[in-house]
Amino acid sequence: MLFIETSKRRISDPDKDEGSLEVTGHLGDVMKESCQIAYTFAKSFLTEKDSSNRFLNSSHLHLHVPEGATPKDGPSAGCTIVTALLSLARNKPIRQNCAMTGELSLTGKILPVGGIKEKIRAAKRVGVTCVLLPAENKKDFDDLPDFIKEGLEVHFVNHYNETYDIIFDN
């Protein structure tokens, strides 16, 4: 389980696109790239959803993945990073007891990831009851024993639009 934290460092002139993203937490190159992709997509997505919300364009943000002594790499947290940024920008918490995984493309497509069994088991260990997975990982989930799947509300998503509609109680 990775937890993603975001915080506003400061706001620039809201009419200027001078925002920035600082990323910390002993991240590998692939995860740093995922952060940049998520940041770019989140700005575009938010503009589409609410053109008056310029928060991501004008704010200097800090994104941190705790447990900095543990190296973290890979693209699996892309959709989670977008969600953390949008939650901060909208000043709205996400639905509780949810976990998600999925690589994010620049256009918002949610791509498959590895380690579904381990990710589901870790999520259940910390009390997660709702899981969002890439649609292309459905077979991986279906192959899990029933006792692991028991008690989970599972959503298979193809695009971040679907994730957004599930994760935010609009």
Catalytic residues: 76, 119
**Nearest-angstrom CA–CA distance, 20 and 164:** 23
Closest by CA position to 31, among listed 22, 43, 23: 23
Strands (E), 15-96: 20-24, 59-64
Distances (CA, A) of 17 to 35, 40, 79, 81: 18, 12, 23, 20
Residue showing tokens 């002993």: 26
- In the three-class reduction of DSSP (H, G, I as helix; E, B as strand; rest coil), residue 161 is classed as helix
What phi and psi values does residue 48 have, to the nearest 5 degrees? Answer: -65, -40
